[in-house]
Structure 1
Amino acid sequence: MGIHFGADYNPEQWPEEVWEEDIGLMKQAHVTMVTAGIFSWAKAEPRAGAYDFDWFDRVMDRLGGAGIRVCLATMTASPPPWLTRAHPEVLPQGPDGQRRWPGGRQHYCPSSPVYREHAVRLVERLAARYAGHPALALWHVGNEYGCHTRQCFCDVSAADFRRWLRGRYGSVARLNDAWSTAFWSQAYSDFEEVLPPRTAPTFPNPAHQLDYLRFSDDALRDCYLAEREVLARLCPGMPVTTNLMPFHKPVDAFAWSHDMDAMALDFYQDPFDAETHLKAAYTFDLMRSARGGQPWLLLEQAPGAVNWRARNGPKPPGAMRLWSWQAVAQGADAVLYFQWRQSRGGAEKFHSAMVPHAGTDTRIFREVCDLGRELASVPELAGTRVVRPTVALVTDWDSWRALELDSHPSTALRLPELALGHYRPLFEAGVACDVVPPDRDLSGYRLVVVPNLYLVTTSVAQRLASYVRGGGHLLVSFFSGVVDGCDRVHPGGCPGPLRSLLGLRVEEFWPLDEGATVGVRGVAGVRGRGGGRARTGAAGGWELPAGTADLWSEAVRPEGAEPVAEFADGDLAGGPAVTRHGYGAGTVTYVGTRLAPPLMRALTDRVREAAGVRPVLAGLPEGVQATVREGPGGRFLFLLNHGTRAADITLPCPMADALAGTRGERAQHTYRIGLPARGAAVLKDLRGAVPADG
Structure 2
Amino acid sequence: MANRRTFRWPSLLTEGGRGIAFGGDYNPDQWSEDIWDEDIRLMKQAGVNTVALAIFSWDRIQPEEHRWEFGWLDRIIDKLGKAGIAVDLASATATAPLWLYETHSEVLPHDKFGHPINAGSRQSWSPTSPVFKEYALTLCRKLAERYGDNPTVTAWHMGNEYGWNNRYDYCDNALHAFRAWCERKYGTIGALNQAWGTTFWGQEMNGFDEVLIPRFMGADSMVNPGQKLDFERFGNDMLLDFYKAERDAIAEICPDKPFTTNFMVSTDQCCMDYADWAGEVDFVSNDHYFHEGESHIDELFCSDALMDALALGKPWYVMEHSTSAVQWKDLNTRKRKGETVRDSIAHVAMGADAINFFQWRASAFGAESFHSAMVPHAGEDTRLYRQVCELGAALKTLGDAGVQGTELVPSGTAILFSAESEWATRSETLPSKKLNHWHDVRDWYRAFLDAGTRADIVPLKYDWSGYRTVVLPTVLILSGEDVNRLERFVRGGGTVVVGYATGLIDENFHTWLGGYPGAGDGVLRGMLGIRGEEFNILGAEAAGEPCEIHLSNGMTTRLWQNDINVDDDGVDVLATYAGEEADEWDLDGTAAITRNAYGEGSAYFVGCDLDVADLAMFITTGLNPAERGDRNASQESGPHYDPITTLHTERAGAEVAFDFYLPRGKHEVKIDGVEGEPVYRFRCDEGTEPGSYAIHRNGVLVIKR
TM-score, normalisation: structure 1: 0.92
For 1:430 and 1:375, locate their aligned partners in 2 and report how far apart those are by CA, in whole Å.
Answer: 28
1:482–1:493 contact (8 Å) kept in structure 2: no
1:587, distance to aligned residue in structure 2 (A): 0.3
1:401-434 deviation line (CA, Å, top 9, x unaligned): 1122112111011112211121111122342332
1:38–1:75 contact (8 Å) kept in structure 2: yes
Of 553, 563, 570, 2:573 maps to: 563
2:452–2:644 contact (8 Å) kept in structure 1: no
Matching residue of 2:433? 411
Of 360, 379, 397, 1:377 maps to: 397
1:381–1:633 contact (8 Å) kept in structure 2: no
Matching residue of 1:554? 562
For 1:643 and 1:262, locate their aligned partners in 2 and report how far apart those are by CA, in whole Å.
Answer: 32
Matching residue of 1:600? 615
1:597, distance to aligned residue in structure 2 (A): 2.6
For 1:24 and 1:512, locate their aligned partners in 2 and report how far apart those are by CA, in whole Å.
Answer: 60
Residue 514 of structure 2 aligns with an amino acid whose one-letter code is G
Residue 562 of structure 1 aligns with an amino acid whose one-letter code is D
Question: 2:160 aligns to what SS in structure 1?
Answer: coil
Matching residue of 1:112? 129
1:309-340 deviation line (CA, Å, top 9, x unaligned): 12212111301111111100000000000000
1:632-681 deviation line (CA, Å, top 9, x unaligned): 47211111123111111224x42321026x99999999321101111111
For 2:398 and 2:275, locate their aligned partners in 1 and report how far apart those are by CA, in whole Å.
Answer: 30
Of 242, 253, 258, 1:223 maps to: 242
1:168, distance to aligned residue in structure 2 (A): 0.6
Of 532, 540, 544, 1:506 maps to: 532
1:98-137 map, 5 Å: 98-137=115-154
1:608–1:30 CA distance, 2 compared to 1 (3 A): farther
Structure 1 residue 317 and structure 2 residue 337: aligned? yes
Question: 2:376 aligns to what SS in structure 1?
Answer: coil
1:447–1:608 contact (8 Å) kept in structure 2: no
Of 254, 260, 263, 1:235 maps to: 254
Matching residue of 1:639? 661
Question: 1:411 aligns to what SS in structure 2?
Answer: coil
Residue 257 of structure 1 aligns with an amino acid whose one-letter code is A
Matching residue of 1:262? 283
1:539-590 deviation line (CA, Å, top 9, x unaligned): xxxxxxx221221101011222321110013221100110101111000111
1:106, distance to aligned residue in structure 2 (A): 1.0
Residue 238 of structure 2 aligns with an amino acid whose one-letter code is A
User: Between the two proteins, what is the percent identity of the paired residues?
Assistant: 37
2:684–2:695 contact (8 Å) kept in structure 1: no
For 1:328 and 1:665, locate their aligned partners in 2 and report how far apart those are by CA, in whole Å.
Answer: 21
For 2:507 and 2:349, locate their aligned partners in 1 and report how far apart those are by CA, in whole Å.
Answer: 36
TM-score, normalisation: structure 2: 0.91
1:156, distance to aligned residue in structure 2 (A): 0.8
For 1:664 and 1:403, locate their aligned partners in 2 and report how far apart those are by CA, in whole Å.
Answer: 43
Question: 2:588 aligns to what SS in structure 1?
Answer: coil
Residue 679 of structure 2 aligns with an amino acid whose one-letter code is A
After TM superposition, the structure 1 stretch with the greater mean CA deviation from structure 2, 547-556 or 618-627, is: 618-627
Matching residue of 1:675? 695
1:440-464 deviation line (CA, Å, top 9, x unaligned): 2222111111111111100000001
Of 584, 609, 623, 2:625 maps to: 609
Matching residue of 1:466? 488
Matching residue of 1:435? 457
1:621, distance to aligned residue in structure 2 (A): 5.7
For 2:396 and 2:694, locate their aligned partners in 1 and report how far apart those are by CA, in whole Å.
Answer: 23
For 2:640 and 2:510, locate their aligned partners in 1 and report how far apart those are by CA, in whole Å.
Answer: 45
Structure 1 residue 519 and structure 2 residue 550: aligned? yes
Residue 697 of structure 2 aligns with an amino acid whose one-letter code is A
1:596-653 deviation line (CA, Å, top 9, x unaligned): 33221121123252526223576426432111101147211111123111111224x4
For 2:313 and 2:661, locate their aligned partners in 1 and report how far apart those are by CA, in whole Å.
Answer: 20
Matching residue of 2:8? none
After TM superposition, the structure 1 stretch with the greater mean CA deviation from structure 2, 82-91 or 600-609, is: 600-609
1:481, distance to aligned residue in structure 2 (A): 1.3
Residue 584 of structure 1 aligns with an amino acid whose one-letter code is G
Question: 1:609 aligns to what SS in structure 2?
Answer: coil
Matching residue of 1:540? none
For 2:384 and 2:178, locate their aligned partners in 1 and report how far apart those are by CA, in whole Å.
Answer: 47
1:386–1:627 contact (8 Å) kept in structure 2: yes
1:41, distance to aligned residue in structure 2 (A): 0.3
Question: 2:247 aligns to what SS in structure 1?
Answer: helix
1:471-510 map, 5 Å: 471-496=493-518, 497=520, 498-510=524-536
Residue 613 of structure 1 aligns with an amino acid whose one-letter code is G
Matching residue of 2:387? 367
Residue 148 of structure 2 aligns with an amino acid whose one-letter code is A
Question: 2:185 aligns to what SS in structure 1?
Answer: helix
For 1:633 and 1:668, locate their aligned partners in 2 and report how far apart those are by CA, in whole Å.
Answer: 30
For 1:343 and 1:195, locate their aligned partners in 2 and report how far apart those are by CA, in whole Å.
Answer: 43
For 1:127 and 1:430, locate their aligned partners in 2 and report how far apart those are by CA, in whole Å.
Answer: 50
For 2:179 and 2:23, locate their aligned partners in 1 and report how far apart those are by CA, in whole Å.
Answer: 43
Matching residue of 2:81? 64
For 1:400 and 1:670, locate their aligned partners in 2 and report how far apart those are by CA, in whole Å.
Answer: 48
Residue 197 of structure 1 aligns with an amino acid whose one-letter code is P
Residue 641 of structure 1 aligns with an amino acid whose one-letter code is P
Question: 2:560 aligns to what SS in structure 1?
Answer: coil
For 1:493 and 1:156, locate their aligned partners in 2 and report how far apart those are by CA, in whole Å.
Answer: 42
1:384–1:633 contact (8 Å) kept in structure 2: no
Matching residue of 1:542? none
Matching residue of 1:4? 21
Of 87, 92, 100, 2:104 maps to: 87
1:51, distance to aligned residue in structure 2 (A): 1.5
1:393–1:434 contact (8 Å) kept in structure 2: yes
For 1:680 and 1:663, locate their aligned partners in 2 and report how far apart those are by CA, in whole Å.
Answer: 7
For 2:67 and 2:442, locate their aligned partners in 1 and report how far apart those are by CA, in whole Å.
Answer: 49
1:2–1:376 contact (8 Å) kept in structure 2: yes
1:430–1:615 contact (8 Å) kept in structure 2: no
Question: 1:508 aligns to what SS in structure 2?
Answer: strand
After TM superposition, the structure 1 stretch with the greater mean CA deviation from structure 2, 199-208 or 25-34, is: 199-208
2:321–2:356 contact (8 Å) kept in structure 1: yes
Question: 1:70 aligns to what SS in structure 2?
Answer: strand
Of 210, 213, 218, 2:229 maps to: 210
1:172, distance to aligned residue in structure 2 (A): 1.0
Matching residue of 1:398? 420
1:304, distance to aligned residue in structure 2 (A): 1.2
Matching residue of 1:245? 264
2:302–2:442 contact (8 Å) kept in structure 1: yes
Matching residue of 2:445? 423
2:668–2:695 contact (8 Å) kept in structure 1: yes
Question: 1:35 aligns to what SS in structure 2?
Answer: strand
1:374, distance to aligned residue in structure 2 (A): 0.8
Structure 1 residue 345 and structure 2 residue 371: aligned? no
After TM superposition, the structure 1 stretch with the greater mean CA deviation from structure 2, 460-469 or 640-649, is: 640-649
Of 165, 171, 187, 2:188 maps to: 171
Structure 1 residue 388 and structure 2 residue 444: aligned? no
Residue 209 of structure 2 aligns with an amino acid whose one-letter code is E
Matching residue of 2:322? 302
1:626–1:193 CA distance, 2 compared to 1 (3 A): same
For 2:607 and 2:372, locate their aligned partners in 1 and report how far apart those are by CA, in whole Å.
Answer: 44
Q: How many residues are paired up?
A: 659
1:670–1:136 CA distance, 2 compared to 1 (3 A): farther
Question: 1:358 aligns to what SS in structure 2?
Answer: coil
Structure 1 residue 456 and structure 2 residue 468: aligned? no
2:575–2:591 contact (8 Å) kept in structure 1: yes
Matching residue of 2:605? 590
* CA RMSD after TM alignment: 1.9
